[in-house]
Amino acid sequence: MTVAQLSEAELLARIFPRLELSALHSAAVVLGPGDDAAIVAVPDGRTVISIDTQVQDQDFRLEWNNGYRTTGYDVGWKAAAQNLSDINAMGASATSMVVSLTMPPDTPVGWAEDLADGLTAAISKLGAGACSVAGGDLGRGRELSVTVAVLGTLDGGQPVLRSGAQEGDTLAIAGRAGWAAAGLALLESGHHVSSLPPELLSMLELQCRPEPPLEAGPLARMSGATAMMDISDGLVRDGTRLAVASHVVLDLDPGQLGRLAEPLRPAATLLGADPRAWVLGGGEDHGLLATFPAGMQVPPGFTGIGSVQACGADKAPGVTIAGRPADSVGWDHFAD
């Protein structure tokens, strides 16, 4: 059955129960789906808000070179995860989200149901159980497109911005770096998905269903992080953004880069790639890049990967590796 064979009310009747997070229902949602608009409580007087769109053939493909078929579950998971990550990157916790889904008329109803399941699963499995879907919109279009807007709370605390890094701070990362890029390379390779061993399959799955470390953002805020952002476009590209915002140099430790690259070696060997390029340039893992005051032990979940240095006459804001400029090799939406 396709979505064109159901009325909007019939389709919503199939999707709503899948968004019902029962025991995990958000205290922030005063009024959920069913009326013309939802109502959300803002206990500390501010709300953190972010929005992101996933478009078919731009942000995801339905079919890949290696035979993998993207499921509605994957798209729903990724749409939720990316948005939850932006809230995490401010040091905040998500409280609610609204979803807009555009589908071609021939989209199977089961695909839309899977998408709702993927959204719900990401919220609960990634540890954003305080968040629930407050409302949304369904529409028809030429291609699949999912837009999620997510709201979050700082629980009375101060947000962690990109601009606060200070000379002498420790640079640290939480979550993975390069796994989703390795997964993307596998999806685009000629190595059929059914031939991949489990360790490589997990990289492919992390490209389709990223796992941002959602407990790390609020923990970093409470631990005194001076600057933070999530890595969505690559360690070097996003690190450069943080460096520019803080007017500092982020110097990466090559030994730590090697350590981050080590688990990616089996995929790199299969594809003849350099795993360090995935660590430096790969986006979409949605790990956190944060800076902490000098001499402070970084909080659990974070690993030190470098240090913050001052800019100088011969040193512009940016990312270096043991003092040498790192090329920006991350994904750019507007390139090519």
The binding site for ATP consists of 136-137, 162, 232
Reported as type and span, the H/E element at residue 8 is: helix 8-19
Q: Of 74 and 86, which CB lies nearer to Mg ion in the complex structure? A: 86
- Residue whose entry in the numeric block shows the structure tokens 């129960």: 17
Task: Establish if 233 lies at the interface with Mg ion (CB under 5 A).
Answer: no
Angle between helices 8-19 and 109-125 (to 10 degrees): 20
- For 292-295, the CB contacts below 8 A with 24+ separation are 292/169, 292/170, 292/172, 292/220, 292/223, 292/224, 292/225, 292/226, 293/166, 293/168, 293/169, 293/170, 293/224, 293/226, 294/168, 294/169, 294/170
Is the distance from CB of 234 to CB of 282 less than 8 angstroms?
yes
CA atoms within 13 A on the CB side of 46: 11
Which of these segments, 17-25, 154-162, 226-234, 314-322, binds Mg ion (CB under 5 A)?
A: 226-234
Q: Of 200 and 219, which CB lies nearer to Mg ion in the complex structure? A: 219
Measured from the CB of residue 52, what is the shortest distance to Mg ion in angstroms? 9
Count of residues engaged in binding Mg ion, rule: CB under 5 A? 3
Which of these segments, 76-84, 86-94, 158-166, 191-199, binds Mg ion (CB under 5 A)?
A: 86-94
Give the Cα separation of 41 and 93 in Å (integer): 14
Q: Of 206 and 267, which CB lies nearer to Mg ion in the complex structure? A: 206
Angle between helices 109-125 and 72-88 (to 10 degrees): 30
Task: Establish if 230 lies at the interface with Mg ion (CB under 5 A).
Answer: yes
Which of 86, 113, 233, 251 binds Mg ion (CB under 5 A)? It is: 86
Measured from the CB of residue 241, what is the shortest distance to Mg ion in angstroms? 9
Angle between helices 198-208 and 179-187 (to 10 degrees): 100
Give the Cα separation of 129 and 133 in Å (integer): 11
Q: Of 115 and 231, which CB lies nearer to Mg ion in the complex structure? A: 231
Measured from the CB of residue 51, what is the shortest distance to Mg ion in angstroms? 11
The interface mask with Mg ion, positions 44-83, x = CB under 5 A, is ----------------------------------------
Measured from the CB of residue 245, what is the shortest distance to Mg ion in angstroms? 12
Measured from the CB of residue 230, what is the shortest distance to Mg ion in angstroms? 4
Classify 170 as helix, strand or coil.
strand
Annotated binding site: 36, 50, 52, 59, 86, 136-137, 162, 230, 232-233, 284, 331
CA angle, 281 then 273 then 270, to 5°? 135
Q: Of 59 and 230, which CB lies nearer to Mg ion in the complex structure? A: 230
Annotated binding site for Mg(2+): 36, 50, 52, 86, 137, 230, 233
Measured from the CB of residue 242, what is the shortest distance to Mg ion in angstroms? 11
Which of these segments, 52-60, 85-93, 125-133, 209-217, binds Mg ion (CB under 5 A)?
A: 85-93
Q: Of 11 and 290, which CB lies nearer to Mg ion in the complex structure? A: 290
Angle between helices 198-208 and 72-88 (to 10 degrees): 70
Measured from the CB of residue 237, what is the shortest distance to Mg ion in angstroms? 11
Give the Cα separation of 66 and 64 in Å (integer): 5
**Binding positions for Mg ion, rule: CB under 5 A:** 86, 230, 232
